[in-house]
Structures are given as structure tokens and as C-alpha cells.
Amino acid sequence: MSQFEPHLFVVFGASGDLARRKLLPAFYRLQQREGFGKMCRVLGVARRPWDDATFRAKAAEALIEAGIDPDEVKAWCSQHLSYQQVDGDFEPLADRIAEIEETGGLPGNRVFYLALPPGVFVPTIEGLAVAGLADGPGWRRLVIEKPFGHDLASARALNGAVHQVFDEREVYRIDHYLGKETVQNLLVFRFANALFENAWTRDRIEQVQITVAEEVGVEDRAGYYDSAGATRDMLQSHLAQLLTLTAMEPPARFDADAIRDEKVKVLRSLRPVDPARAVFGQYVAGSIRGEPVPGYADEVGAPSSTETAVAIEVFVDSWRWEGVPFLLRTGKRFPTRRSVIVVTFREPPISLFGPDHAGHARPNVLVLTIQPDEGFELTVDVKTPGDGMDLDTVSFRFSYADEFGEIPDAYETLIADVIIGDQTLFVRSDEVEEAWAVFEPLLADHPDPDGYTAGSWGPAAMASLAGDHAWYPTG
């Protein structure tokens, strides 16, 4: 793995919410890490007519809101942050970059982070090329926020435009779910522990459920979301990533391409999706934690057929997983914010402790919690004290916070990987296209979504997909 090198981190969309809430705090905290050094400058780029002082003042507000000591914020912003307005012409940006690199003694290493609406990805990349910013004495790295296209055709077009200017080895498609500790730990959990890897097969596992639940509605994203929906926004990206990491084979070696090769194999092994085994929903007015919230149509200001929740059953046609259903579910205005992978193991072929025993034997269940309260728990059956053979189910639990204290934010982890040149947690071009190919049949023609009350776990039809097993954490 590469080590930290002095560089300039250029953030397009520096006046936006992502930069304020996630990127600026991540930059600050990375600078406090031992080994990351101090020779890093951040150049914010946006259309707003700000100067350095305005940007630094806005950044200081964001950092203080993120819980960073106000006494340290002003000096850091003054030392590390600059701003350049860009509105179509990239030549002033090129001049400003040259000035910062010269005065700061930087060798020409540059990261370009596109915290932008997807419609301006391609013009921004082309602008970098025209201004000569994609060439130079140091390395170049391009970071692209999702969504990576709107469908398969647009994803291919975007990849083509990117590759006209940047080599795939220079491209970092960021999915913040892959920066979460529990997602990364899934590789360690599986491949460093023979106990679980030996049981990670169709012979031992009955079903896998992956849920990404959100309390929030569309809020200020209504314009984007109404043209996307849950299938594009979450199923094709976050849930597809969690599915590949859960189902992948051991890589030949622990490096970025070997791991991503195995993830692509999972997507290529997925059986064509059956729209009859998919459920679409849209929230109507209800309440979250006792507070009334409006319905989706009220938030977007008009009736809409866009789904805010989707659940689907998929199968991986491989030697390891043949016949095991993977149930994927996501939705907005669910009762709680929670992302989990739930693995239900098969019951013994012959049960000595059937329904006649109080608290009869239940299948072992492994719950990997991605957010919040990252960790995992494993349920096992035990005998209750006293006469007879009464059973009870207990859990073994591991919590990252309890064991290690506060863990880094996902963006902090991912930005660090960009800086050192590690692509393991980033999505490769073929992976993007394969994911779109899998779920595109759901985009073309799906029924109008069923209504579900905000604060519930989605349409009633979702429960039937899980069979005898309740969707966690509903049961």
C-alpha cells in the first residue's frame, strides 16, 4: 500500500451540504492522525462568489458544528483551506492550483473530488482535461459520488467519459457504506475465522436478509429522489454492495482488484430478478417516534408513482449459494435507522427439542449491524436452570464502541484510502455496470407502489417474502 504523500485535495461542490457535514470534518480529523503529515492543502471549488476568507469562515462553522474545538478550528482553516470560484472556465482554477502548489511546496499530486449533482460530472471532467489539470508531474485521482448513472446505458456512457480522461486505476467511485467498519470487518469475520467460513454455505445457511432502513423522508432531495426512487438510490448501490461482500468467494490475495473481481463474480452469478418476487411501497402520512410526518406525495408536492421502499428476493447461482434466498429490503420513513445483515442458519436435520419442549429449539441467527451501534450478535439455544429440559435463546454480542471506543466516520476512512491510493473499498467500472444490469428489469415496468404508513416497516406484502422468518428488527 502506498504511504501518505503531500498533495492538493480539490473539492468541487465545496459550498454544498456534503462538504459541510462530511468532507471538511474528515479532512480535519485526518490531519490529526499520526503519519498523515501536514503537507496537504484543500481547495474548495464552487460557483458561489466567495473568497478564501468566506470559505474559511463557513468551514469553521461546519467544523464547530461537528464537535471540533473552536480554538483549533480557525488556525487550521487558515493554514489548509483555499477557495476558487469556477463558472464554466477552468483556466482560473488551473492558475490557482499552480499558485497553491508552488507556494506550498507541493509536488503536483492532486485529488479531484466531485461532490456534485450527477448531471455535471462529465462537463467537470472535460473541463479538467481542457485546462490540462488531468496531466502533470504528480499522480491524479478522481473521486465520484454516487449515483453512477441512472440506468445501464447512462452508467456505460459515464464510464466512457471518465476513461477518456482518467485511467481506471485513478478513479475512486465512492459508496460511503463501504467505509463503515462493520462492512470492512465482514471480510475479516468471514475469512479469518474458520468457524464461520466453514458454515458459510448452502448446507448450513437457510436464508440471508439485508435491510437498510431509514427514518428520514426525502426532505430537501425531493427533486432528485422523485426521478430515482429506492431501487436506483439504494438497491442498485448500497444493498448490491452488501450482497456482494456477503456472498463473495475468498479472493486469491488481499488487494483491491482481487477483492473486486470476486464481487463482480457474485453480480454475474445472480439469477435474473423475478419482478413477481419484488414489493414496492410509498409512505403516506404517519408518525416517527411520536412526531407526525407528511406523506411522500405531500413532500414532493404532487401525486407520484415513485417507490420509497423496495424489497426483493434474489438468488446467487453458485456452488456455495445455490437455492439460498437473499432478501434485500430498504425504505424511507421506517420506524428506525438501522442497517443489518441477518444470516439464519439451518436447524439440525433431526431436532431432539421440538415443539413439546418449552421454548423449543430455534435456528441460530447471526446479525451483523452496519449502523448504528456497529457490531454483531449470534443467538444460541441454552437450557434454562431447573428441572426438565426447557430451552431459551440467548445472544453473544460484540460492539465496536464498547471494545474500541469511537470509530472513524466512513468518509474519513474512504478519503484516507484515496490519499494513499488504495482502491479496495471503491467500486470498479465493471461492478457498476453489472449491478445496473441485474436490477434494470425492475426499473422498466413495475406496478404502482403500495402505500405504507410512515413509521411502519413497509407494505404488508413485504413480510411474505421472508417466509417463516420475520424481517429483522421487526420480530
Beta strand extents in 296-406 (DSSP E only) = 309-315, 325-331, 338-345, 365-371, 375-383, 391-399
- Taking residues 221-228, report their average pLDDT: 83
**Is the pLDDT score of 384 beyond 90?**
no
Largest CA distance in the chain: 83
**Is the pLDDT score of 380 beyond 90?**
no
Alpha helices in 341-470 (DSSP H): 400-404, 410-420, 429-439, 441-444, 460-465
**Is the pLDDT score of 38 beyond 80?**
no
What is the rounded CA–CA span in Å between residue 95 and residue 132? Answer: 11
Ramachandran region of residue 467, left (φ > 0), alpha (ψ -120 to 50) or beta? left
pLDDT the model gives residue 49: 95
pLDDT the model gives residue 473: 66
pLDDT the model gives residue 58: 95
Residue 435, helix vs strand vs coil: helix
**pLDDT band for position 168 (cuts 50, 70, 90):** very high
Q: Which three cell numbers stand for residue 23?
A: 468532507
**pLDDT band for position 360 (cuts 50, 70, 90):** low
Does residue 449 have a cis bond before it (omega within 30 degrees)? no
**Is the pLDDT score of 213 beyond 60?**
yes
What is the rounded CA–CA span in Å between residue 375 and residue 397? Answer: 8
Burial of 296 (0-12, 13-18, 19+ CB in 10 A): buried
Cβ neighbour number for residue 137 with a 10 Å cutoff: 8
The sign of the dihedral angle between the CA atoms of 396, 399, 402, 403 is: positive
> Which tens digits make up the pLDDT trace of 423-473?
998 999 999 999 999 999 998 778 889 999 999 999 999 988 888 787 776
Please provide the DSSP assignment of 320-339 as one string: TTTT-EEEEEEESS-SS-EE
pLDDT the model gives residue 475: 40
Residue 166, helix vs strand vs coil: coil
> Mean pLDDT for the chain?
89
Identify which of 361, 326, 368 has the alpha carbon closest to the alpha carbon of residue 347.
361
**Is the pLDDT score of 240 beyond 80?**
yes
Distances (CA, A) of 246 to 80, 98, 250, 340: 40, 45, 11, 12
Amino acid symbol at 68: I
- Taking residues 118-135, report their average pLDDT: 94
Are the beta carbons of 229 and 307 closer than 8 angstroms?
A: yes
Catalytic positions are 238
Q: Which three cell numbers stand for residue 448?
A: 404502482
> Which tens digits make up the pLDDT trace of 2-36?
578 899 999 999 999 999 999 999 999 988 876 66
Ramachandran region of residue 65, left (φ > 0), alpha (ψ -120 to 50) or beta? alpha
> Which tens digits make up the pLDDT trace of 175-184?
887 887 777 7
Alpha helices in 308-409 (DSSP H): 400-404
179 alpha-carbon distance from chain centroid: 7
What is the rounded CA–CA span in Å between residue 281 and residue 34? Answer: 47
**pLDDT band for position 147 (cuts 50, 70, 90):** confident
- Taking residues 297-319, report their average pLDDT: 94
Q: List the 171-174 sheet strands across, edge first.
A: 81-85, 40-46, 7-12, 110-114, 140-145, 171-174
**Is the pLDDT score of 102 beyond 70?**
yes
Residue whose C-alpha cell is 464498547: 402
- Rounded to the nearest 5 percent, the helix, strand and coil shares of the chain are 40, 25, 35
What is the rounded CA–CA span in Å between residue 300 and residue 292? Answer: 17
Per the DSSP assignment, residues forming a β-bridge with 280 are 310
**Is the pLDDT score of 358 beyond 60?**
no
| H-helix or E-strand spanning residue 93 | helix 91-104
Are the beta carbons of 10 and 45 closer than 8 angstroms?
A: yes
Are the beta carbons of 7 and 106 closer than 8 angstroms?
A: yes
What is the rounded CA–CA span in Å between residue 8 and residue 129? Answer: 17
pLDDT the model gives residue 1: 39
For the ranges 141-155, 209-223, 352-366, 382-396, which has the lowest average pLDDT? 352-366
Are the beta carbons of 55 and 44 closer than 8 angstroms?
A: yes
Per the DSSP assignment, residues forming a β-bridge with 85 are 46
